[in-house]
């Protein structure tokens, strides 16, 4: 069946901002879908609120709507674009949920739009617990027994009559899975269920039979409308049941199942697709298997492309999302070619001849209050994947790809675990468990004992034991000879790791290795285990014999990617890397991409000329350099990851294209940078560097409080704090030293109530093109990644903007930047101060590029390759921006119970959205909605502020009253408002008897919370109030400027309608 | 562990070490792309005369067990893998892979770049080889490989067929709906298990049996099994199958059985460059255009051009290389497939073929 001719225009729904559980894998799938459908001649419209995506690049779709992903916005797009069909299966749960609402609200029917990729009923059967269970029962597939209960009597009844202990208690609708647990007996059940019922918004808990410790598997399945169905990849979780699969270490293919057991699971997966009714596209089915009896039960299925399908695509080379899009358009699998072999059809099951390991990346250091145990709710913010010829190699490569300061499953990793608490690590589902297993094996724990403590399959434990044994051989050997070194390399030991064991440097090991002729070969990821010749150059390294690299005559350039997503370094950098690769290819160079993040567009083998899926370490990158002999490397696009390698690469003789690492160092080095500013007569907040606490105290006294404390060489404002008083200084300074050991700490004057501005520019050494000046909504002191901002500036004068541009131009030229530069500036009254300059791609590059329609990363790449701004026609060019584009940050607070959701100098957001419209108010309002802050137009506002904030709170309160809102406040704030002549209802403090604000929230008596922190160390009750708001999805504002922008936006939207407009229309 | 050398007739050598067994073993070097199922592969008599390279690098992880055997022992001459697991983990496992190989007097080699072997065979074709832990002189080994017999023209099926006729299930099946005569050319037990499951009592005959003897029992259907080697090297078996066809009883053939039926119907076979061995091959049923994923293990194939359309219809095609994967007789209740609907190892998609055989017997009973 060829493609459908009865549809011409397809609307794709994206997944919105990066949040935990929904990251850039949906940019990868969405971008593939757009490409695949346009290739077939369809017109593609797209909605996605996330500006940092390749998907929302104007060239990806025909019509790109960077609008909030809500049924209302989609309806407006449908009215404008009149698509024939809507494709919701490539944009994660966000797209699926939006599409379901569109059906339920009758919108699709009203405008005659067909849902393709999945049908409403099938999605319901896949997602709705009872329907799913019934369907599985009909198919003869076991599900886990579970029962909803609403009180303790019901719980007791279920536990006595229907389930056996242990029983899992899962409260419904809670923040970050709080209140749940495993009950071993009735007493425990009563305690846990009582807590769970309290924590649940709906006073409901689910009692479920425990499969804790069972083996866990995932199957990635595709089906077409002719009922051809294939398994793309089977994944085994090394961490058994009990840890969310997104937080588990997972391995492809399965390692511990016989063919008989695998085929039973395969049959079940295909049956699930058929019973659920997934007609076309990819799905993910999760199973658990009892390790002693082999009993198989299904956990869940996702009737859409998922995070695991991105992993499966990268693990096998089979492009699931691309195929899913083509199947949705009517093709069948046998009609489509296998992209990699080009000769054989896509209707087959990939076979792989290597081992793939995925490790999750966590950022608990950002949320010290959060519970770092893992469970059923996902907590990791990113992931990395590594390919090896054996499991040990793959696991160790994955560890060094994590970029957590380890060189494998090595001694540095062990230093992260407190040996005295080893048993706790083994018994709890914590992030360091794999490391703890290695340490326990070294201490002499038997594999059997560790299996009993962790439930991990003994096969995996033995693999770790082998690493331990090789480590011992490396330590004990009198001489590191050829055979031992080669053996270690084959098992994934890095040069630095071996060096640490042998008491020498990694460079010395590297030299020895080369002397012995032990260099890696590169093998192809080809979907077919070598059975057919592959046309696609997608490589991984291993220490086997046959090298499959493909030297060409073309001049090539290596682009280093940004590794696993983390807070502070995510999709924005992948966006810049993808643009760099595109620019290089347009210029006729061979673009070679190196990255280790399976979620990304940059690791789509279609993006670059050659893809190396490798850890971003000096050793791994250098090996590729020596194999490919490129012109040089571009390191300014992938964030801190490649920059951290720049010095060592330069030292090894690698030409760094674009801005020299020396310029980067000059901007990072506080002293050199101060000299530069002095020379340019630019101001900086008064500052000094301290190497000890005593020095810090002396500096603070001299500068005067409040002071900002920042460690050097960190990402995303790690451990940055503002100290308002002397007592606060010591803990903050110590934290800064801990975050960046051996580096000085910078203390500078904190400018209160200053406006912060970000500038992105491109410099060719002679001229400068200022791409965008962004005015932050939140004042200076809030991390730039966490604050909303606007292009163009919405309060700054033209004159101030011009002065800032001039200053930035001067700095770029002085730093001899050849490429991108970002500057952060604080404007206070009529003065401005340079806070920070980074001569590299910033997080805001994609946002600026979309807001102004000038592709900064592309231009910077051309500059790095020797072109000039003059040649590119950008000298004196001013982009016309006749609209407002507001960026807003999105936070993971709902995953971390007990974490205070306030903003500060340390970045906490995982993603961003953009709102674009003709005025600031509307753009801001759209950005808030897109970020999940649905601003009310009527109802009650709860106000609570510290004394210093009382003045502006009055102003804001007046505006709310004028807009028809009622006010609620606690005593202090209420008094202030009262004396300003405002009508306000008093609510009790949490400690007092009587109705308090949390009770009000429970009764839906509050629609918006304006609550500023009382000081740097928040009171427990404030945190409770803010957490409760987050839990209930209430919009919450914690800053003065945020509150002002919010009330403006609300007043505007009360009186005006809003509409949607494609980015192509703005740019036209 | 002993050092081992794999020497190919074209002069290429690979070095590894023996993780099981020792000595000198001859065979055709082939590769299999299944990621699971090494025990079934080793015990599949179709691998008689072959040394199997597994493309998946980690083998032995789940050990071996009592149930996943496809015949009376290991038939492959040797097994070549990248890394044999030193321990195994699975609730059904009863033994380790190295012990299993050693007890069966076979050799297992690891620490070899199996992808290098695979790509070599893919480019140059499956070829004769010798694996040795005794003679480590490459030149001498290459000579030995060249001088070895090879598969072409040899009747290997008769080397592995049963010595005596037997009934499956062992104690007979009094309530059987159908009686099936099975011509054993190197049968995989799962074919018998499935026929049993579907209500058949099977009498398994050596492939040297006389047609008259078989037909005298008036079977409801005749099944010709898989088996090793060159189909053109077994004219006696083709002749037997030809005579059985004349009975017009329902017939079903798998793999070597498919080739026997094809040859008996006047078609010709040829040797594939490196064969199809794996569990992921796409087969299209030309009658419905639906694709099934199937288990494959064959080095020879029926030439599509040699099939007389008046006699037989090509029903299935391998989509990877468009070779013939299934035939159906134009007039008689007879069909056969090149691949393995009994799976073991591999997907169960083509299970329906056994049901079609049952239907044929039902119609003609």
Catalytic residues of B, which ones?
Answer: 255, 340, 342
If we measure between CA atoms, which residue out of A78, A87, A73 comes closest to residue A42? Answer: A87
Sort out which chain B residues have CB atoms less than 8 A from A255's CB and list them: 58, 61
pLDDT at A259 over 70: yes
Say how many CB pairs under 8 Å bridge A and B. Answer: 162
Q: How many residues does chain B have?
A: 365
Contact B90 A257 (CB under 8 A): yes
Q: How far apart are CA A223 and CA A851, in angstroms?
A: 39
Pick the residue of B90, B287, B294 with the most A CBs within 10 A to test the interface with A by mutation: B90
Chain A contact set for B275 (CB, 8 A): none
Asked if the C-beta of A489 comes within 8 angstroms of chain B's C-beta atoms, the answer is no
Whether the CB of B89 is below 8 Å from some CB of chain A: the reply is yes
Please tell me if residue A255 touches chain B, with a CB cutoff of 8 Å.
Answer: yes
What distance lies between CA A295 and its chain's CA centroid? 35
Q: For the residues A958-982, what does the mean pLDDT come to?
A: 92
Compute the nearest-CA separation of A36 from chain B (Å): 23
CB nearest to B118's CB, from A294, A344, A530: A530
Question: Any idea which residue has 């001694």 for tokens?
Answer: A411
A391 touching B (Cβ < 8 Å): yes
Domain covering A212-350: architecture = 2-Layer Sandwich (3.30)
Instruction: Give the residue extent of every domain in chain B.
Output: 2-147, 156-364
Question: How far apart are the C-alpha atoms of A123 and A131, rounded to whole Å?
Answer: 10
CB proximity A532 to B under 8 Å: yes
- Which architecture, in CATH terms, is A658-685+751-881? 2-Layer Sandwich (3.30)
Cα(A254)–Cα(A241) distance, rounded to whole angstroms?
A: 15
Q: Which residue of A has its CA nearest to B273?
A: A531
Cα separation of A269 and B293, whole Å? 14
Determine, for residues A256 and B62 on separate chains, whether the beta-carbon distance falls below 8 Å. yes
Do B293 and A530 count as a contact with CB atoms less than 8 A apart? Answer: no
CB A530 to CB B347 under 8 A?
Answer: no
Across the interface, whether the CB atoms of B291 and A255 are under 8 A apart is answered no
A230–chain B Cβ distance below 8 A for any pair: yes
pLDDT recorded at residue A1016: 57
Q: Does A829 touch chain B (CB under 8 A)?
A: no
Contact B92 A258 (CB under 8 A): yes
C-alpha distances (whole Å) from B350 to each of A68, B315, B341 are 48, 13, 5
A48-57, A523-532, A992-1001: which has the minimum mean pLDDT? A992-1001
> What's the rounded mean pLDDT across residues A8-12?
98
In B, residues 49-68, which contact A (CB 8 Å cutoff)?
Answer: 55-58, 61-62, 65, 67-68
| Alpha carbons A38 and A40: distance in angstroms, whole number | 5
Give the tens place of pLDDT for each residue, A73-106: 999 999 999 999 999 999 999 999 999 999 999 9
Within 8 A of B65 by CB-CB distance, chain A residues are: 258
* pLDDT digit string, tens, across residues A494-507: 999 999 999 999 99
In chain A, ranges of CATH 3.30.470.20 domains: 212-350, 658-685+751-881
Interface test with A, best of B57, B67, B188 (most A CBs within 10 A): B57
With beta carbons under 8 A apart, name residues in chain A contacting B66.
none
B115 lies within 8 A of chain A by CB: yes
Q: Do A347 and B119 touch (CB under 8 A)?
A: no
Query: Residue A1022: CB partners within 8 Å, gap ≥ 6?
Result: A900, A944, A1011, A1013, A1014
Does the beta-carbon distance from A260 to B67 stay under 8 Å?
yes
CA distance B227 to B48: 8
Instruction: Enumerate the residues of chain B whose CB falls inside 8 A of the CB of residue A450.
Output: none
Low-confidence ranges of chain B (pLDDT < 70): none
Q: For residue A202, what pLDDT is reported?
A: 79
**In the CATH scheme, what is the code of domain A934-1055?**
3.40.50.1380
Place of tokens 């409080």: A705
| CATH number of this structure's domain A9-116 | 3.40.50.20
pLDDT at B172: 94
A294 and B114: CB-CB below 8 Å?
no
Asked if residue A34 has pLDDT above 70, the reply is yes
The residue behind tokens 């791609």 is A841
List chain A residues with CB under 8 Å of B345: 259-260, 263
Q: Decide: helix, strand or coil at residue A681.
A: coil
Model pLDDT, residue A819? 97
- Strand-pair partners of A966: A940
The Cα-based distances of A1036 to A212, A935, A983 in angstroms read 37, 9, 21
Give ranges for CATH 3.40.50.20 in chain A.
9-116, 522-657
- Per the CB < 8 A criterion, the answer to whether B349 and A227 are in contact is no
Confidence of residue A430 (pLDDT cuts 50, 70, 90): confident
Candidates 3.40.50.880, 3.40.50.300, 3.40.50.10470, 3.40.50.10860; CATH matching B156-364 = 3.40.50.880
Whether the pLDDT of residue A191 is over 80: the answer is yes
Out of A226, A257, A349, the one facing B280 most closely (by C-beta) is: A349
CA distance A293 to chain B (A): 7
Chain-chain contact of B347 with A544 (C-beta, under 8 angstroms): no
- Residue of chain B whose alpha carbon sits nearest to that of A542: B113
pLDDT band at A176; cut points 50, 70, 90: low
Quick check: A291 contacting B, CB < 8 Å?
Answer: yes
The beta-carbon neighbor of B89 closest among A344, A458, A532 is: A458
C-alpha dist (Å) from residue A208 to A212, A241, A784 = 11, 13, 44
Whether B35 contacts chain A with CB within 8 A: yes
Question: Of the candidates B290, B319, B346, which has its C-beta nearest A227's C-beta?
Answer: B290
* Identity of the residue in B115, B122, B345 whose CB atom sits nearest the CB atom of A523: B115
How far, CA to CA in Å, does A59 sit from each of A582, A943, B122, B204? 12, 45, 41, 66
A546, B344: Cβ pair inside 8 Å?
no
Query: Which candidate from A261, A462, A531 shows the least CB-CB separation from B278?
Result: A531
Q: Stretch A318-325: mean pLDDT, rounded?
A: 96
Quick one: which of A57, A209, A157, A103 has its CA closest to A575?
A57
Burial of B340 (0-12, 13-18, 19+ CB in 10 A): buried
pLDDT computed for residue A669 by the predictor: 83
CA distance B241 to chain A (A): 32
- Average pLDDT over chain A reads 93
Nearest to A590 by CA among A576, A577, A613, A609: A609
State the smallest CA–CA distance between residue B17 and chain A in angstroms. 14
Q: Does A292 touch chain B (CB under 8 A)?
A: yes
| Residue B278: closest C-alpha in chain A | A351
pLDDT single digits (tens) A603-641: 999 999 999 999 999 999 999 999 999 999 999 999 999
Q: Which residue has the tokens 């921006």?
A: A881
CB B57 to CB A531 under 8 A? no
Q: Per-residue pLDDT tens for A111-136?
A: 999 999 999 999 999 888 889 999 99
**Complex ipTM value:** 0.98
pLDDT over 80 (residue A1014)? no
8 A C-beta contact, residue A53 and residue A846: yes
List chain A residues with CB under 8 Å of B281.
Answer: 348
Interface of A with B in 419-478 (CB under 8 A): 457-459, 462, 466
pLDDT at A439: 98
Q: Report the gap between the CA of B61 and the closest CA in chain A (Å).
A: 6
CATH 3.40.50.620 fits A358-518, yes or no: no
For the stretch A807-842, pLDDT in tens is 999 999 999 999 999 999 999 999 999 999 999 999
Distance of CA A616 to CAs A622, A642, A843, Å? 10, 7, 19
Q: Does domain A522-657 have CATH number 3.40.50.20?
A: yes
**Which residue spans of chain A are classified as CATH 1.10.1030.10?**
358-518
Q: For A149, phi and psi rounded to 5 degrees? A: -130, 155
Give me the CATH topology for the region A145-209: Dna Ligase; domain 1 (3.30.1490)
Whether domain B2-147 has CATH 3.50.30.20 = yes
Q: Name the residue with tokens 């080739």.
A: B259
Judged by CB atoms closer than 8 Å, whether chains meet at A292 and B91 is answered as yes
Q: Is A528 on the interface with B (CB under 8 A)?
A: yes
Task: Please tell me the distance from the alpha carbon of residue A726 to that of residue A705, in angstroms, as a whole number.
Answer: 8
Q: For domain A687-737, give the CATH number.
A: 3.30.1490.20
What average pLDDT does the segment A270-281 reach? 93
Closest by CA position to A138, among listed A15, A352, A298: A298
Is B156-364 in the same CATH topology as B2-147? Answer: no
Contact: A254, B55; criterion CB under 8 Å: no
Among chain A residues, CA nearest to B321: A344
């Amino acid at each position: 069946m060829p493609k459908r001719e009865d549809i011409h225009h397809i609307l794709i729904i994206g997944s919105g901002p990066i949040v935990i559980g929904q990251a850039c894998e949906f940019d990868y799938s969405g971008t593939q879908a757009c490409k695949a459908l346009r290739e077939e001649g369809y017109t593609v419209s797209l909605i996605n609120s996330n500006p940092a995506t390749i998907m929302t690049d104007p060239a990806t779709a025909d019509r790109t709507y960077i609008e909030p992903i809500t049924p209302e916005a989609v309806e407006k797009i449908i009215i404008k674009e009149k698509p024939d069909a809507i494709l919701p299966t490539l944009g994660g749960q966000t797209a699926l949920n939006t599409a379901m609402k569109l059906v339920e609200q009758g919108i699709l029917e009203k405008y005659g739009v067909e849902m393709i990729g999945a049908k409403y009923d099938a999605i319901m059967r896949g997602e709705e617990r009872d329907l799913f269970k019934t369907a599985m029962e009909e198919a003869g597939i076991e599900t886990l027994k579970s029962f909803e209960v609403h009180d303790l009597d019901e719980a007791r009844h279920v536990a006595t009559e229907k389930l056996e202990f242990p029983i899992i208690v899962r409260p419904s609708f809670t923040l970050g899975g709080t209140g749940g647990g495993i009950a071993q007996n009735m007493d425990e059940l009563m305690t846990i269920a009582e807590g769970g019922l309290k924590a649940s918004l709906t006073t409901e808990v689910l009692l479920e039979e425990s499969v804790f410790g069972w083996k866990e598997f995932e199957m990635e399945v595709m089906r077409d409308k002719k009922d051809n169905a294939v398994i793309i990849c089977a994944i085994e979780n090394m961490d058994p049941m009990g840890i969310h699969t997104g937080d588990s270490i997972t391995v492809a293919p399965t390692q511990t199942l016989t063919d008989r057991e695998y085929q039973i699971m395969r049959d079940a997966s295909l049956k699930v697709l058929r019973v659920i009714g997934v007609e076309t596209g990819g799905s993910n089915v999760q199973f658990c298997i009892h390790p002693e009896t082999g009993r198989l039960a299904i956990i869940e299925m996702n009737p859409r492309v998922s995070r695991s399908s991105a992993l499966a695509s990268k693990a096998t080379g089979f492009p699931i999302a691309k195929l899913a899009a083509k199947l949705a358009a009517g093709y069948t699998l046998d009609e489509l070619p296998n992209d990699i072999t080009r000769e054989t059809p896509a209707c087959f099951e990939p076979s792989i001849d290597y081992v793939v390991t995925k490790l999750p990346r966590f950022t608990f250091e950002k949320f010290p209050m959060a519970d770092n145990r893992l469970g059923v709710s996902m907590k990791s913010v990113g992931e990395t994947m590594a390919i090896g010829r054996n499991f040990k190699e793959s696991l160790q490569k994955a560890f060094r790809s994590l970029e957590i300061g380890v060189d494998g499953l090595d001694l540095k990793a062990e230093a992260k675990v407190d040996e005295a608490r080893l048993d706790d690590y083994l018994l709890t589902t914590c992030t360091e468990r794999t490391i703890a297993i290695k340490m326990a094996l070294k201490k002499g724990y038997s594999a059997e004992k560790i299996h009993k403590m962790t439930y991990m399959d003994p096969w995996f434990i033995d693999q770790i034991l082998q690493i331990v044994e090789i480590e011992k051989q490396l330590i004990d050997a009198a001489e590191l000879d050829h055979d031992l070194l080669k053996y270690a390399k084959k098992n994934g030991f890095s040069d630095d790791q071996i060096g640490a064991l042998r008491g020498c440097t990694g460079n010395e090991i590297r030299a020895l290795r080369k002397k012995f002729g032990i260099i890696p070969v590169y093998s192809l990821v080809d979907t077919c285990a070598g059975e057919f010749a592959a046309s696609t150059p997608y490589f991984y390294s291993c220490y086997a014999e046959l090298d499959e690299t493909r030297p060409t005559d073309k001049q090539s350039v290596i682009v280093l990617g940004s590794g696993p997503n983390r807070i502070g370094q995510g999709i924005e950098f992948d966006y810049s890397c993808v643009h760099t690769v595109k620019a290089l290819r347009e210029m006729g160079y061979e673009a070679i991409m190196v990255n280790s993040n399976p979620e990304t567009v940059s690791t789509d083998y279609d993006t670059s000329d050659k893809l190396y899926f490798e850890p971003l370490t000096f050793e791994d990158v250098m090996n590729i350099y020596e194999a490919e002999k490129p012109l040089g490397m571009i390191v300014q696009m992938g964030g801190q990851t490649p920059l951290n390698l720049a010095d060592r690469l330069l030292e090894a003789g690698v030409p760094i294209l674009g801005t020299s690492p020396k310029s980067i160092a000059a901007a990072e080095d506080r002293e050199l940078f101060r000299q530069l500013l002095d020379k340019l007569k630019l101001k900086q907040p008064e500052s000094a560097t301290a190497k000890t606490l005593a020095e810090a105290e002396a500096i603070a006294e001299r500068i005067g409080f409040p002071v900002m404390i920042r460690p050097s060489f960190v990402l995303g404002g790690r451990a940055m704090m503002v100290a308002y008083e002397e007592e606060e200084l010591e803990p903050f300074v110590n934290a800064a030293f801990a975050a960046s050991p051996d580096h000085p700490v910078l203390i500078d004057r904190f400018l209160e109530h200053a406006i912060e501005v970000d500038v992105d520019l491109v410099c060719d050494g002679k001229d400068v093109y200022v791409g965008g000046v962004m005015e932050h909504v939140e004042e200076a002191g809030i991390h730039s990644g966490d604050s909303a901002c606007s292009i163009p500036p919405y309060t700054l004068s033209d004159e101030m903007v011009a002065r800032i541009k001039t200053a930035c131009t001067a700095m770029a030229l002085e730093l001899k930047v050849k490429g991108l530069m970002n500057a952060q500036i604080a404007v206070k009254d009529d003065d401005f101060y340079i806070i920070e300059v980074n001569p590299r791609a910033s997080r805001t590059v994609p946002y600026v590029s979309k807001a102004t329609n000038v592709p900064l990363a592309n231009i910077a790449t051309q500059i790095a390759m020797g072109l000039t701004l003059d040649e590119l026609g950008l000298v004196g060019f001013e982009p016309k921006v006749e609209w407002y584009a507001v960026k807003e940050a999105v936070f993971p607070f709902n995953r971390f119970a007990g974490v205070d959701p306030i903003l500060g100098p340390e970045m906490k957001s995982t993603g961003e959205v953009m709102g674009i419209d003709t005025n600031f108010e509307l753009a801001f309002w759209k950005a808030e909605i897109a970020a999940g802050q649905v601003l009310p137009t009527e109802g009650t506002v709860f106000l609570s502020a510290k004394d210093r904030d009382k003045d502006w709170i009055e102003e804001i309160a007046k505006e709310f009253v004028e807009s028809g809102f009622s006010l609620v406040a606690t005593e202090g704030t209420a008094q202030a408002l009262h004396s300003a002549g405002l009508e306000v209802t008093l609510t009790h403090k949490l400690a007092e008897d009587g109705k308090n604000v949390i009770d009000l929230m429970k009764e839906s008596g509050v629609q918006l919370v304006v609550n500023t922190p009382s000081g740097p160390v928040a009171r427990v009750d404030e945190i409770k109030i803010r957490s409760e708001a987050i839990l209930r999805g209430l919009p919450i504002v914690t800053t003065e400027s945020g509150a002002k922008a919010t009330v403006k936006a609300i007043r505007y939207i009360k009186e005006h309608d809003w509409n949607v407009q494609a980015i192509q229309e703005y740019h036209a | 562990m002993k050092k081992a050398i794999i020497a190919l007739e074209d002069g290429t050598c690979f070095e590894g070490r023996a993780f099981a067994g020792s000595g000198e073993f001859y065979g055709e070097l082939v590769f299999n792309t299944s990621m699971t199922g090494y025990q079934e592969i080793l015990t599949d008599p179709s691998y008689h005369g072959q040394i199997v390279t597994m493309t998946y690098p980690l083998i032995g992880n789940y050990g071996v067990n009592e149930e996943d055997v496809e015949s009376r022992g290991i038939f492959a001459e040797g097994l070549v893998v990248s890394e044999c697991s030193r321990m195994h983990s699975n609730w059904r496992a009863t033994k380790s892979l190295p012990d299993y190989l050693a007890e069966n007097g076979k050799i297992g080699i690891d620490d070899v770049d199996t992808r290098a072997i695979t790509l070599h065979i893919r480019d140059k074709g499956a070829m004769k080889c010798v694996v040795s832990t005794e003679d480590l002189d490459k030149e001498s080994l290459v000579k030995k490989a060249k001088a070895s017999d090879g598969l072409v023209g040899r009747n290997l099926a008769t080397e592995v067929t049963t010595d005596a006729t037997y009934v499956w299930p062992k104690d007979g099946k009094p309530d059987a709906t159908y009686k099936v005569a099975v011509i054993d050319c190197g049968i995989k037990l799962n074919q018998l298990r499935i026929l049993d499951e579907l209500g058949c009592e099977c009498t398994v005959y050596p492939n040297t049996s006389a047609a008259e003897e078989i037909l005298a029992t008036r079977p409801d259907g005749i099944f010709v099994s898989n088996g090793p080697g060159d189909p053109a090297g077994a004219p006696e078996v083709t002749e037997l199958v030809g005579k059985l066809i004349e009975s017009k009883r329902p017939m079903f053939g798998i793999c070597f059985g498919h080739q026997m039926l094809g040859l008996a119907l006047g078609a010709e076979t040829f040797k594939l460059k490196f064969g199809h061995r794996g569990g992921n091959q796409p087969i299209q049923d030309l009658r419905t255009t639906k694709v099934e994923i199937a288990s494959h293990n064959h080095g020879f194939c029926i030439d599509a051009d040699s099939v007389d359309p008046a006699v037989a219809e090509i029903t299935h095609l391998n989509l990877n290389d468009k070779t013939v994967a299934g035939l159906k007789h134009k007039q008689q209740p007879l069909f056969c497939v090149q691949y393995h609907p009994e799976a073991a190892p591999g997907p169960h998609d083509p299970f329906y073929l056994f049901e079609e055989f049952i239907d044929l017997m039902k119609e003609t009973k």
